[in-house]
């Protein structure tokens, strides 16, 4: 295989964290990966977020300069083989659309903002991949700039997933903003971290673990400093943490933290990270923590490789939701098949949907979940479904994926309210609008809930005009469908669609 062909197989992941931006480029080799490139830059995005959740111009400038450099490396990689995720700071930012658009322009690939629980799932997958069956119950802790993910899993399956609102950047800014380190301040920060994690203590202790693994630069830096001072051998223990804390307090300031193993760019956020880790050790009574050099970016890589090999965790998530909320799976599958068949028919007319696998998957998932709200109540069940999907922890889905999926569930019946699309990016609204029309028509055609094959219908679309042609006798025999289509004609008019029903 030539170098050119090998490079065409490359897969990349980017983690837009609150402290650092990370990029990794790998080349798959069967079940293994070879790392061909890595980049890390301490952007400190979280430090640029003000009280109004607006990003300062200086932080934006640092971020964009970094992303331009990342973008040069990423642009040659095929679309669909790069996944870029944003974490705590981007989750908290108010109205991030302009920043995300500029980031996508710089990187040449889309950016996903993921939930804290999704971040935790991906971190766990990156850390435990390939560890085997030894010490199968694993507690994984990753301290980021603005959030800390705490996960317990059994082998490669996460069981408890939490994202706690504390991190090395936020705690340093909160307790050591002027650079001074005192015993009183450190103890206050340590206690604050312990109290922040108190809500998960009972369940995590009851579940237990065989091994505790620390990920992220914060934990690795702490382990290196402890080893450099002679208080450990590459792992973290309560004794090592306490001795390091005493030593740091004695030094008295961030500027004085000239510690062996501590990089210069990590000094400004080291006290907050140490306080968070010490607080978690106290709360969970951790006796020993090993350290992993893998974290979120590796988890994103393995998850992306799963999608590329047709092992997409999002399919499992949707199937799990249908079981959990008692969806009539057979009926949902018939709606899905009908909607996708209609999508095949209109792809030539609605060319922006042609070959769009993301749109196809979104329509399929919406069809499978369109009745999920019946679990709550029949009245306004499309609104209940929207709420469940928008606010649930959907493994594998970005926050924007969830918003688009929730919009389709809300729009699949009843009055067509364009305001529902306000939560969807402007560039995606027309696509969601057209997918919603197809879903609505599929639901109408399948309202009889029979096992009959696809109704004999030809469908065409030209801009906002949709023509459906039926066999006259079939329509005469299906009065409920005819009535539903007649009502749909009036419901679609306000949003610019004209539905024509013809008989042959």
How large is the average pLDDT for residues 334-345?
95
User: 419 with 480, same domain?
Assistant: yes
In-domain check, residue 305: no
Q: How confident is the model at residue 5 (pLDDT cuts 50, 70, 90)?
A: very low
Q: What confidence tens digit (pLDDT) does each residue in 22-70 have?
A: 999 999 987 788 999 999 999 999 999 998 999 999 999 999 999 999 9
What's the CATH number where 369 sits?
1.10.3210.10
pTM: 0.90
Residues 150/165, Cβ–Cβ less than 8 Å? no
Residues 355/343, Cβ–Cβ less than 8 Å? no
User: 292 with 201, same domain?
Assistant: yes
Tokens of 37: 């490139």
User: 61 with 93, same domain?
Assistant: yes
Residues 105/134, Cβ–Cβ less than 8 Å? no
Q: Calculate the alpha carbon distances from 308 to 79, 83, 311 in Å.
A: 12, 12, 7
Euclidean distance between CA atoms 225 and 228, whole angstroms: 5
* Domain extent at residue 81: 3-114
Q: Is 407 helix (H, G, I), strand (E, B) or coil?
A: helix
User: 178 with 279, same domain?
Assistant: yes
Judging by DSSP bridges, how do beta strands 11-16 and 21-29 pair with one another? antiparallel
Name, in order, each residue with C-beta under 8 angstroms of 160's C-beta and a sequence gap of 6 or more.
150, 151, 152, 153, 200, 203, 204, 207
Euclidean distance between CA atoms 87 and 207, whole angstroms: 27
DSSP E strand stretches across 56-202: 82-86, 111-113, 137-143, 148-154, 157-164
Provide Rg for the chain, Cα atoms. Answer: 26
Q: Is 111 helix (H, G, I), strand (E, B) or coil?
A: strand
Residues 336/368, Cβ–Cβ less than 8 Å? yes
Euclidean distance between CA atoms 99 and 96, whole angstroms: 5
In-domain check, residue 320: yes
Residue 164 backbone dihedrals phi, psi, to 5 degrees: -100, 135
When mean pLDDT is compared across 100-109, 118-127, 323-332, 343-352, the lowest value belongs to 343-352
How large is the average pLDDT for residues 345-351?
89
Euclidean distance between CA atoms 91 and 55, whole angstroms: 12
Q: What is the pLDDT at residue 1? A: 36
Q: What confidence tens digit (pLDDT) does each residue in 429-471 have?
A: 999 999 999 999 999 999 988 888 877 889 999 989 999 999 9
User: 319 with 398, same domain?
Assistant: yes
Nearest to 304 by CA among 151, 84, 40: 84
What's the CATH number where 134 sits?
3.30.420.150
What are the residue ranges of helices labelled H in 156-237?
168-175, 183-196, 198-207, 216-228
For residue 313, the cross-strand partners are none
Residues 189/271, Cβ–Cβ less than 8 Å? yes
Q: How confident is the model at residue 225 (pLDDT cuts 50, 70, 90)?
A: very high
In-domain check, residue 480: yes
CB atoms within 10 A of CB 297: 23
Residues 189/272, Cβ–Cβ less than 8 Å? yes
Q: What confidence tens digit (pLDDT) does each residue in 139-184 have?
A: 999 999 999 999 999 999 999 999 999 999 999 999 999 999 999 9
In-domain check, residue 304: no
The gap between the terminal CA atoms of the chain, to the nearest Å, is 57
Q: How confident is the model at residue 6 (pLDDT cuts 50, 70, 90)?
A: low
User: 461 with 490, same domain?
Assistant: yes
Which string of b and e fits 60-73 if b means at least 16 CB within 10 Å? Answer: bebbbebbeebbeb
Q: Residue 199 belongs to what H/E stretch?
A: helix 198-207
H helices then E strands: how many in the chain?
20, 13
CB atoms within 10 A of CB 334: 21
User: 126 with 261, same domain?
Assistant: yes
Q: What is the pLDDT at residue 268? A: 95
CA 267 to chain centre: 29
In the sheet that holds 457-462, the strands lie side by side as 457-462, 465-470, 498-503
pLDDT surpasses 90 at 425: no
User: 152 with 253, same domain?
Assistant: yes
User: Who wins on pLDDT, 182 or 352?
Assistant: 182
pLDDT surpasses 80 at 85: yes
pLDDT surpasses 50 at 2: no
**Total domain count for the chain?**
3
User: 104 with 205, same domain?
Assistant: no
Euclidean distance between CA atoms 18 and 54, whole angstroms: 14
In-domain check, residue 108: yes
Q: Residue 468 belongs to what H/E stretch?
A: strand 465-470
* Domain limit, last residue, from 66, 88, 114: 114
In-domain check, residue 340: yes
Q: Calculate the alpha carbon distances from 359 to 134, 141, 200, 440 in Å.
A: 41, 35, 38, 15
* Domain limit, last residue, from 298, 330, 357: 298
User: 253 with 369, same domain?
Assistant: no
Nearest to 152 by CA among 136, 143, 140, 166: 140
* Domain limit, last residue, from 72, 87, 114: 114
- Mean residue pLDDT of the chain comes to 94
In-domain check, residue 96: yes
User: 109 with 137, same domain?
Assistant: no
In-domain check, residue 307: no
User: 130 with 110, same domain?
Assistant: no
Q: What confidence tens digit (pLDDT) does each residue in 260-269 have?
A: 999 999 999 9
Residues 228/243, Cβ–Cβ less than 8 Å? no
């Amino acid at each position: 295989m030539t170098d050119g062909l090998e490079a065409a197989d490359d897969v990349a992941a980017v983690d837009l964290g609150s402290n650092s931006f990370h990029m990794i480029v790998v080349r798959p080799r069967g079940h293994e990966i070879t790392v061909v490139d890595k980049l890390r830059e301490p952007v400190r995005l979280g430090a640029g977020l003000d009280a109004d959740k607006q990003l300062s111009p200086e932080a934006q400038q640092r971020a964009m300069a970094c992303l331009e450099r990342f973008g040069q490396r990423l642009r040659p990689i095929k679309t669909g083989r790069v996944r870029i995720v944003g974490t705590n700071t981007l989750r908290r930012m108010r109205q991030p659309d302009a920043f995300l658009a500029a980031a996508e322009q710089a990187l040449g690939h889309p950016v996903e903002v993921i939930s804290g629980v999704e971040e935790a799932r991906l971190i766990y997958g990156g850390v435990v991949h390939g560890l085997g069956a030894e010490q199968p119950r694993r507690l994984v802790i990753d301290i980021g700039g603005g959030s800390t993910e705490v996960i317990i899993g059994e082998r490669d399956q996460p069981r408890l997933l939490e994202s706690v609102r504390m991190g090395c950047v936020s705690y340093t800014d909160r307790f050591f903003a002027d650079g001074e380190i005192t015993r009183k301040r450190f103890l206050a920060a340590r206690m604050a971290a312990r109290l922040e994690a108190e809500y998960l203590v009972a369940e995590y202790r009851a579940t237990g673990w065989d091994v505790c693994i620390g990920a992220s630069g914060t934990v690795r830096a702490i382990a290196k400093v402890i080893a450099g001072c002679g208080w450990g051998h590459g792992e973290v223990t309560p004794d090592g943490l306490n001795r390091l804390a005493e030593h740091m307090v004695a030094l008295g300031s961030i500027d004085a933290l000239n510690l062996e193993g501590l990089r210069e760019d990590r000094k400004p956020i080291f006290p907050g990270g140490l306080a968070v880790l010490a607080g978690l050790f106290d709360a969970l009574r951790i006796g020993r923590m090993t350290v992993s050099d893998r974290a979120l970016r590796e988890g994103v890589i393995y998850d992306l490789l799963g999608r590329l090999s047709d092992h997409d965790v999002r399919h499992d998530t949707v199937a799990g939701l249908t079981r959990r909320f008692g969806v009539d799976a057979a009926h949902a599958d018939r709606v899905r098949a009908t909607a996708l068949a209609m999508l095949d028919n209109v792809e030539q007319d609605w060319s922006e949907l042609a070959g769009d696998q993301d749109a196809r998957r979104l329509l399929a998932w919406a069809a499978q979940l369109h009745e999920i709200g019946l679990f709550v109540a029949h009245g306004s069940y499309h609104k209940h479904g929207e709420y469940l999907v928008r606010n649930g922890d959907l493994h594998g889905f970005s926050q924007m994926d969830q918003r688009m999926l929730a919009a389709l569930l809300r729009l699949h019946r009843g009055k067509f309210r364009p305001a529902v699309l306000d939560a969807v990016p402007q560039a995606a609204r027309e696509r969601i609008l057209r997918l919603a029309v197809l879903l609505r028509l599929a639901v109408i055609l399948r309202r009889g809930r029979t096992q009959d094959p696809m109704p004999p219908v030809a469908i065409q679309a030209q801009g906002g005009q949709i023509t459906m042609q039926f066999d006259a006798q079939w329509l005469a025999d299906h009065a409920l469908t005819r009535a539903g289509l007649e009502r749909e004609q009036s419901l679609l008019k306000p949003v610019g669609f004209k539905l024509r029903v013809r008989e042959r």
